[in-house]
Structure formats: structure tokens, C-alpha cells
Amino acid sequence: MAAAVRLLPVVTFMLMSCFPDTSSSRRDVLELGDADFDYLATEHETMLVKFYAPWCGHCKKLAPEFERAATRLKGSVQLAKVDCTSNSETCGRFGVSGYPSLKIFRYGRDSSPYDGPRTAGEKETKKYGIHHYMMKQTGPDSVHLKTEDDLQTFINHFDASIVGVFSAFESSGLSEFLKAAALLRDQFRFAHTTNLQLGQGYGTHSESILLFRPPRLSSQFEDSVVVFKDHMTIGSLRRFIRDHIYGLCPHMTLENQDRLKVRDLLTVYYDLDYQHNIRGSNYWRNRVMKVVTKYSGRGLIFSVANKKDFLSELVEDFGLGTSDGGEMPFVTIRTKLGHKYAMREEFTRDGQSLQRFLENFFSDRLKRYVKSEPAPERNHGSVKLVVAETFDDIVNDPDKDVLIQFFSPSCPHCKKLEPVYRELADMLFPDPGITIAKMNAVDNDVPLGYDVQGFPTIYFAPVGRKNEPIRYQGSRELKDFVKFLKREASHNFIISRSKDEL
């Protein structure tokens, strides 16, 4: 008995060590309320606050990620939470209208909404999240540079740098510059100086703003420093940064991809690693730049990216297998309209294959890549099965009204709808002017004009208005579908039941 008693502390320790201690993570998230928010928030230079409700499903999903991020950010950025069901005064004061709402505070002042990732983030796997986003929020909006060494240290960075050179702290230009830095600090790096001599080495002898591209992207094909010459306003500076920050051929990353993909974009993917292999990374980039300098200003922008970071996208969106091209780069084009093209020819070191690909793109000779299931051999049922390759033939048939359901094979709501949808199709089958169709939106590209965020999503493409499909948002009962079609169809359709039955 005594031996068993002596073992108890050891057993208890072993049991405790089997389970992760989440209590410490929870303690790293500061709990604030009406009584102490102003008092405690002012103690922190930078604080991310989550306004939530205990019953909110999205809040519950965010909670463990928020706690993990709080632990990783401990000592740099304070994370806090406010329960709005019991602290309505604070939540109302900061305009919280939905849950969860995340806001960034600086010394207790509401600085800006948080619109970054909702996961903690893992630096080791290059998965950006709350940690990486909030680390960019630490420190001043713009760093004050005093000496040449300060300047060189600041611009010798992985990301681009924007440096304002002003004559004095009282300068109106500096005031506007600092306002812009406060608004844009989550996207770009800012610094300022009142030492005009720091700008003289870059050809400026008066107040100016200099944009320094990252040293790792230095190239003979473009300037490493660009000078802002317009009248200083927040809007003009924002446009200047937007137009020049990336240069001729930027490095697209998981973090900046959304800002690059808003335009027609050509991307060259290869084993790019600027952390461990700068020379090898620039070997291919310089070959890309040698070619694309001939095509700048024609509406297409260019980038290079690490193939490993975007491998799933290459497979899913462009049909490129993991073995395609071997060690040679992949090349794709994705337009702002969603059209996708992949270079099937092997990338040649002399750039000739890339040049042919670009010439064919600008001459409209490239065939778009469309992810599509094979067209069904038999499609005689009342519900027509549509795949991406047959979408134009069936849904955009100019002589037919078409109701199209976008579904997922694993969606329980889609399975529940199936008998009702089939009954509707059977009822309207005698009418040659209307088609009831469905498409697997997981394994087929959804065409432009159809916004599919969940399943099932249903649209109606009427005769004469194929470019303006109408989203069905009514109840999923048979009589409601019929009522909708009677209102929107281009003709009085034929049904296999009497109207009195509906």
C-alpha cells in the first residue's frame, strides 16, 4: 500500500504530461470588459482585440488559433478579448456589429480594423497568420532615420522600403507622409528623416520620397530606387507605391499573392529560395526579365514564385502534375477575368519558349485551360449533367432557358434537394425551350458571372440574358421553383401536370 501511495505523484505527473496545457495559452489572452478596458488597453503599445459572443460558431473556431497566436506574440503584441454579451458598452463604443470582430489598438486608441488571416500561422511552414501579420504592426508607423548607417540598415531588408526625406519635423509633407504610413503600414515599410543629405546619394537635393526595392531583387534590367515626384497627398503616395513597389518582375509569395492577382498576371514557378539560394533564385529570374522587358506596358504583369509554395494551385488550377517540367520552371497566366493558361512547352534557358508563349497570348492563339470532368457519354435524363467543357453548349444555348444547380458530391443539402430537383426536371421535360441542369462545382471550373461560395447554389440563365444569370434565392420546394420559373422564363413553358396541382 505504501508503495502504491509513493507512486501516485509520479503517475499524476505522467498523466498531466500526456495532455497539452492550454491554460497557459488562455492566460496569454487578456480578458477585458467595460470596467477595465480603457485602463488596461492604454498600457500596451500594440494590442489586437477580439470582440466575440460565447454562442458564436465562428468565434469558437477562431478561439484556439487566437490563443496560439497570443502565446507566440507574448512580449511583442498583446492579444485581448471582450465578451460583448456582458460588456455591451465597450462593444457599442467601438461599433461592433458582428462576431467575431477584430480591431488593432495603439495605447488604447482604436487604430484600424484587423483584416488579416484568422489562423495563428506557422513560420516554419511559411503559413502566414495572425503572428506574422501582427509582428508587422509593432513599433512606430514610420521609423525615424538619423544617419546613413540607419538608412542602409533599414533598406537592407527582404521587403521593399519607402523612405521620406524632409527638411524639418514641421514640414507639411512629413505630416502627410506619417498619415499615409499609419494607414498603409500593414502592407509596406516606412521610414523618414529630416537629414536632406541622406537623399543626395540618390539624386535628390530637396524634400522627396524614395522607394527602395529589396536588394535581393536588384537587377540590371530596372532601377533599384524610384523617386516620387508628384504633390504629396495620401492618395498620390498610395498610387505611386502601388505602381512601383513590385517592379518589373516581383517575387510572388503566399502573403502578397492577393495584391498581384488583381491584374492579368504571368508567373514563372521554380525552386526559388531567397533565404538560402539568392544566386540560384536570380539565375532564372534574370532570364525571365530579359524576355518580359519586351512586353512591359501591354497590360500583363510578371512575377516569379516558389514552385513548392503553390504546388496545389498548379495541380488544381492549371492541371500541371508534380513531375511536369522536372527542375525546369512552370509558366502560367491568370487573367483578372479568371481565364487560365499554362505553357506546355519546356522552359528553355535562352527564353525562346517563354517568348513564343507570350506572343501566342497577345495574339489570342492560346487555348484556355479549363478544369473539367469528362463529358458524360449518355445525358438523356431529365436533369442534364453539365461539365466545364459542355457548359457553353448546354447552359449558354441561346434558344433555351436553363436552371443550373452547382453542387458538391459530399454536400448533404444537395442530396436532400435531389428528389425535388429531379421532380422539377421531370415536370418540365416536355418543354424543349427549358433545361434543368446541374454541375459538380468541385471538379469543374465555375464560369465567370456565377458566384458559388456554398452548396447548393442555383442560377437561372434565361434566353437573351446569358451574361446576366439570375441567382435563385427562394425556398427549395417544388412549388417555389415553379413560381420562380414562371416569373423569369422567356416563354410560357409546358409542364406535365395541371396548373391546379401546383
What is the arithmetic mean of pLDDT over 230-249?
90
Tens digit of each residue's pLDDT (9 = 90 or more) over 256-304: 888 898 899 999 999 999 988 999 999 999 999 999 999 988 999 999 9
Q: Does one domain contain both 407 and 453?
A: yes
Q: How far apart are CA 208 and CA 167, in angstroms?
A: 10
CA-nearest of 14, 103, 4 to 52 is: 103
- Flag whether 11 is in a domain: no
Q: For residues 129 and 69, is the Cβ–Cβ distance under 8 A?
A: yes
Q: Does one domain contain both 149 and 237?
A: yes
How sure is the predictor about 315, in pLDDT bands with cuts at 50, 70 and 90? confident
Q: Does one domain contain both 341 and 451?
A: no
Q: Looking at residue 322, what is its pLDDT?
A: 56
β-strand 340-342 against 330-334: which pairing, if any? antiparallel
Beta bridge partners of 124: none
How sure is the predictor about 25, in pLDDT bands with cuts at 50, 70 and 90? low
Tens digit of each residue's pLDDT (9 = 90 or more) over 337-386: 889 999 999 999 999 999 999 999 999 999 989 899 999 999 999 999 99
Residue 407, pLDDT above cutoff 90: yes
* CA 490 to chain CA centroid, nearest Å: 39
- Flag whether 374 is in a domain: no
Of 244, 271, 291, the residue at which a domain comes to its end is: 244
Q: How far apart are CA 274 and CA 51, in angstroms?
A: 38
Tens digit of each residue's pLDDT (9 = 90 or more) over 192-219: 999 999 999 898 888 999 999 999 999 9
Q: Looking at residue 8, what is its pLDDT?
A: 40
Of 135, 155, 184, the residue at which a domain comes to its end is: 135
Count of positions (residues) in the chain = 502
Q: Looking at residue 124, what is its pLDDT?
A: 43
Q: Does one domain contain both 87 and 71?
A: yes
Of 197, 224, 244, the residue at which a domain comes to its end is: 244
- Flag whether 370 is in a domain: no
- The overall average pLDDT reported for the chain is 88
Tens digit of each residue's pLDDT (9 = 90 or more) over 73-108: 998 999 999 999 999 999 999 999 889 999 999 899
Residue 318, pLDDT above cutoff 50: yes
Burial grade of 231 (CB within 10 A; 0-12, 13-18, 19 or more):
exposed
Q: For residues 333 and 361, is the Cβ–Cβ distance under 8 A?
A: yes
Q: How far apart are CA 291 and CA 286, in angstroms?
A: 9
Residue 160, pLDDT above cutoff 90: yes
Q: For residues 486 and 431, is the Cβ–Cβ distance under 8 A?
A: no
Residue type, 270: Y
pTM for the model: 0.68
Q: Does one domain contain both 180 and 224?
A: yes
CA-nearest of 269, 312, 274, 265 to 292 is: 265
Residue 326, pLDDT above cutoff 90: no
Q: For residues 249 and 304, is the Cβ–Cβ distance under 8 A?
A: yes
- Flag whether 193 is in a domain: yes
Residue 4, pLDDT above cutoff 80: no
Q: Looking at residue 155, what is its pLDDT?
A: 95
Residue type, 35: A
Q: Looking at residue 138, what is its pLDDT?
A: 84
Q: Looking at residue 15, what is its pLDDT?
A: 36
DSSP calls for 289-330: HHHHGGGTTSS-EEEEEEGGGGHHHHHHHH---TTTTTTSPE
Q: Looking at residue 433, what is its pLDDT?
A: 94
How sure is the predictor about 324, in pLDDT bands with cuts at 50, 70 and 90? low
CA-nearest of 246, 66, 215, 229 to 151 is: 215
Q: Does one domain contain both 350 and 264?
A: yes
Residue 438, pLDDT above cutoff 70: yes
Residues with catalytic annotation? 56, 59, 411, 414
* CA 422 to chain CA centroid, nearest Å: 37
Q: For residues 143 and 188, is the Cβ–Cβ distance under 8 A?
A: no
- Flag whether 369 is in a domain: no
Residue 325, pLDDT above cutoff 60: no
- Flag whether 342 is in a domain: yes
Other beta carbons within 10 angstroms of residue 411's beta carbon come to 16
Q: Does one domain contain both 387 and 490?
A: yes
- Planar angle of CA 366, 369, 372, nearest 5 degrees: 150
Q: Does one domain contain both 186 and 118?
A: no
- What letters, b where the CB count within 10 A reaches 16 and e where it falls short, cover 308-326? ebbeebbeebbebeeeebe
Q: Looking at residue 497, what is its pLDDT?
A: 60
Q: Does residue 329 have a cis bond before it (omega within 30 degrees)?
A: no
Q: How far apart are CA 310 and CA 12, in angstroms?
A: 46
- Flag whether 39 is in a domain: yes
Interhelix angle 278-292/352-362, rounded to 10 degrees, is: 40
Residue 125, pLDDT above cutoff 50: no
Residue 10, pLDDT above cutoff 50: no
Q: Does one domain contain both 204 and 283?
A: no
Total domains in the fold of the chain: 4
Residue 203 belongs to a domain with what CATH number? Answer: 3.40.30.10
- Flag whether 44 is in a domain: yes
Domain residue limits at 287: 251-362
Residue 498, pLDDT above cutoff 60: no
Q: Does one domain contain both 51 and 150?
A: no
Q: Does one domain contain both 389 and 494?
A: yes
Q: How far apart are CA 98 and CA 84, in angstroms?
A: 10
Residue 26, pLDDT above cutoff 80: no
The sign one gets for the Cα dihedral 139, 140, 142, 146 is negative
